Structure 1
Amino acid sequence: MEIGQVIRKIRKNKNITQQQLADAINMTRPYIARIESGKNSISSDKLTEILDYCNVTYNEFFYMKNDYKIATKMNEFNKVLKLYYANKFEEISLIKREIKEKYEENGDKFLRHLYILCHCIENGYEINNIKEEYIKEIADYLLSIDDWSYYELVILNNFVGLFPPSTAFLMTKNLLQRADKFKDLNLDSRILSFLLFNMLEFSIKYNGYDYSKVILQTAKKYFTESSQFFEQTLIIFYEGMIDIIDHSISKGIEKCNKAFTIFQTLGHQSIYEKYKKDLDQLINKTMSTKA
């Protein structure tokens, strides 16, 4: 739908007349009518005023504008990932060729990044089979952006396992800054859950303990809602892991076991086994260091 059509749909759904809307945002009724018919454009400030008056969020507005679908570009990322999980690699190769042609036509960075994603998938995310310049290109892009949008979170989520630890740690600042600035935006919640805990696991695995502590503090500030019970359980687990790193081994094991009890009570046996393995590896590593 066009912007004017969405505004009209929202206004009528909220039982607001053109005159009432015009009065609320200091415009004339004929001008509102021309906006709704597509004859006049509207500034972002006035659009914000309309949405505030109608009690509609920007996310809802653009979702409606896109005919109640996620933005087309993000659909392309999701489509490729679904094919990957379904082991439909031939279809991914076909999409990759189409993406290359489109990218050569318009130079859209999104298409370039999607092409590199297809390349990584074709090579099973095996670091030795992926072109080094592709990994560097993605890393350079992420490090060149000071204030990340949701798109940069998606890029990091899809490529983080390919970066050298030192490069991934450099990106921690951008990730934490995004989490802090946009903590009230529900759009980020799911992907930040993946990223923050993946980066915690990554930083502990590669001895980036200072990063681990900062990431954990951000996660504790971000995941505060009662509905975020899974994330809060992971926070307990990683608090225990960091206690172990700080040589409070008994205290750390106690916290980890508390998290394990919750996982097992909820029937998450595979999750319990995965994190129990991480705990055992850290304990063995700590003991060998002390020896």
Structure 2
Amino acid sequence: MEIGQVIKYIRTNKKITQQELANAIGMTRPYIARIESGKNSISSDKLTDILEYCNVTYNEFFYIKNDYTKSSKMNEFNRVIELYYANNIEEISKIKNRVNELYKENGDIFLRQFYILCHCMENNLDPNKVKKEYIKEITDYLLSMEEWCYHELVILNNFIFLFPPETAFLMTKNLLYRADKYKGLNLDKNMLSYLFFNLLEFSFKYEGYQYSKIILDATQKYYRKVSDFFEQTLIIYYEGLLDIVENSIDQGIEKCNRAFTIFQTLGHESIYKKYKEDLDELLKKVASKDSVSEEV
């Protein structure tokens, strides 16, 4: 639907007349009529006034505008992720070629980054196989953005394990700043959850433990509701890993085992196995460092 059509749809469903709306936002009834018919444009300020008067959020407005579906961009994006986990690389390659042609036509940066993501998936997200210039292109884009929005958070999440550690850690501050600002917004919490915990996994993998503390602290503040049970369980696990790094090994293992018990109770066997492997790997690193210290 066009913007004017959406405004009319919202207004009529809220049982508000054109005159009532005009009076509320300081416009004339004929002007409202011309906006709804598509003959006049509307400023962002007046659109905000209309939505506030109708008790509708911007998220709802654009959702209605897109016929109660997510944007076609995000639909295609989510489809590619599903194809990757289904190991359908052939279909991803077809999408990559189509996206590249569209990018050449309109220069939409989303399409360029989507094309690079498809390339990375074709190469199984292996840093040794992915073209270095593509990762540099994504890195330069993210570092050039002083103010990140949702799109930049999604990009970081998709490419996090392909960045050199120092680059990923440098970007952490932008994530935490933006996530804090988005607390009151009805955003995609699943995406933020993936991003927080991907960064935690990344920080332990590359021994950036000072960043682990910072990210864990932010994650603890972000997921405090009773409904955030799964995230809180993962937080217990990462608290355990941090305890192990800080030489409270028994205490750390106890916390990790508590999280594992919850995963197994809920039937998340694959999640349990994955994080148990990460725990075992960390314990080996700690044991190796301790043995080196003793020799010295």
Q: What TM-score do you get using the length of structure 2 for normalisation?
A: 0.93
Q: Report the residue type matching 2:277 in the other structure.
A: K
1:9 matched residue in structure 2: 9
The alpha carbon displacement at 1:115 in A equals 1.4
Q: Report the residue type matching 1:187 in the other structure.
A: L
The alpha carbon displacement at 1:104 in A equals 2.3
Q: Report the residue type matching 1:290 in the other structure.
A: D
Per-residue deviation, residues 44-86 of structure 1 (Å, max 9, x unmatched)? 1111111111111100100111111111222222232233233
1:51 matched residue in structure 2: 51
Once residues 97 and 282 of structure 2 are traced to their aligned partners in structure 1, the CA distance between those partners, rounded to angstroms, is: 44
Please state if 1:66 is matched with 2:63: no
For residues 265 and 90 of structure 1, do their structure 2 counterparts lie closer, same or farther at Cα, with a shift above 3 Å needed? closer
Once residues 100 and 216 of structure 1 are traced to their aligned partners in structure 2, the CA distance between those partners, rounded to angstroms, is: 38
Once residues 278 and 96 of structure 2 are traced to their aligned partners in structure 1, the CA distance between those partners, rounded to angstroms, is: 36
For residues 255 and 85 of structure 1, do their structure 2 counterparts lie closer, same or farther at Cα, with a shift above 3 Å needed? closer
RMSD (Å) for aligned C-alpha atoms: 1.5
Once residues 136 and 251 of structure 2 are traced to their aligned partners in structure 1, the CA distance between those partners, rounded to angstroms, is: 41
Summarize the alignment of residues 142-153 of structure 1 with structure 2, pairs less than 5 Å apart. Answer: 142-153=142-153
2:32 matched residue in structure 1: 32
Once residues 270 and 85 of structure 1 are traced to their aligned partners in structure 2, the CA distance between those partners, rounded to angstroms, is: 15
Please state if 1:193 is matched with 2:193: yes
Helix, strand or coil for the counterpart of 1:31? Answer: helix
For residues 198 and 16 of structure 1, do their structure 2 counterparts lie closer, same or farther at Cα, with a shift above 3 Å needed? same
Once residues 48 and 135 of structure 1 are traced to their aligned partners in structure 2, the CA distance between those partners, rounded to angstroms, is: 38
Summarize the alignment of residues 1-291 of structure 1 with structure 2, pairs less than 5 Å apart. Answer: 1-291=1-291
2:294 matched residue in structure 1: none
Paired positions, count: 291
The alpha carbon displacement at 1:208 in A equals 0.4
Once residues 128 and 271 of structure 1 are traced to their aligned partners in structure 2, the CA distance between those partners, rounded to angstroms, is: 26
| Identity among equivalent pairs (%) | 70
Once residues 102 and 272 of structure 2 are traced to their aligned partners in structure 1, the CA distance between those partners, rounded to angstroms, is: 44
Once residues 285 and 87 of structure 2 are traced to their aligned partners in structure 1, the CA distance between those partners, rounded to angstroms, is: 36
Once residues 255 and 89 of structure 2 are traced to their aligned partners in structure 1, the CA distance between those partners, rounded to angstroms, is: 42
The alpha carbon displacement at 1:277 in A equals 1.9
Stretches of 4+ moved more than 4 A in 1? none
Per-residue deviation, residues 215-239 of structure 1 (Å, max 9, x unmatched)? 0011011111211110011111111
Unaligned runs of 5+ in 1: none
Per-residue deviation, residues 140-194 of structure 1 (Å, max 9, x unmatched)? 1111112111111221122111111111111111111111111122323111100
